[in-house]
């Protein structure tokens, strides 16, 4: 999509919206009040995120650049919020699940359980519950 349709009326190229949004909220910067500078950064990032005029990957990294420029936080403090323990746990879990899926380990485990437990429904349910608890 070459042009971004804003409320069905204004047709501007996407790159122009990337310039317009910071200009719209720029009066917040003329005040020397620090929370307003933070609010400016949040508004610009949110407007770019909601309208998707910039790729979401680029928009998600904007706080690393905007907050130090506005004097809100250092880039080290902002970057520390990107990688927390829960984020690393999620990424590692995703990598393990992709590895299990790639080598078809889940199918092998399911077939072994089916062959060992036979056709008894109660044993099959118990086997699946035990496997899920183990994993």
At residue 24, does pLDDT exceed 70? yes
Quick one: three-class SS letters along the chain? CCEEEECCCEEEEHHHHHHHHHHHCHHHHCCCCHHHHHHHHHHHHHHHHHHCCCCHHHHHHHHHHHHHHHCCCCHHHHHHCCCCHHHHHHHHHHHHHHHHHHCCHHHHHHHHHHHHHCCCHHHHHHHHHHHHHHC
At residue 3, does pLDDT exceed 60? no
Q: Where is mean pLDDT largest: 1-5, 9-13, 122-126?
A: 122-126
Q: Whole-model pTM?
A: 0.61
At residue 132, does pLDDT exceed 80? yes
pLDDT band at 5 (very low <50, low <70, confident <90, very high): low
Locate the domains of the chain by residue range: 3-80, 85-134
At residue 2, does pLDDT exceed 60? no
The torsion angles phi and psi of 18, rounded to 5 degrees, stand at: -65, -30
Measured distance CA(41)–CA(51) in Å, rounded: 16
Q: Residues 22-39: what's their mean pLDDT?
A: 92
Residues 40-90: tens digit of each pLDDT: 999 999 999 998 888 999 999 999 999 999 999 998 999 888 888 888 899
């Amino acid at each position: 999509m070459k042009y971004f349709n804003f409320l069905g009326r204004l047709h501007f190229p996407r790159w122009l919206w990337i310039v317009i949004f910071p200009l719209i909220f720029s009066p917040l910067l003329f005040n020397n009040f620090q929370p307003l500078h933070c609010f400016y950064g949040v508004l610009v990032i949110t407007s770019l995120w909601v309208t998707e005029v910039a790729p979401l990957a680029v928009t998600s990294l904007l706080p690393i650049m905007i907050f130090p420029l506005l004097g809100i936080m250092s880039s080290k403090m902002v970057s520390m919020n990107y990688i927390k323990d829960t984020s690393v746990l999620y990424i590692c879990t995703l990598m393990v699940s992709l590895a299990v899926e790639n080598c078809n380990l889940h199918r092998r485990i399911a077939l072994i359980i089916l062959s060992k437990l036979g056709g008894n429904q109660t044993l099959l349910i118990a086997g699946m519950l035990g496997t899920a608890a183990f994993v």
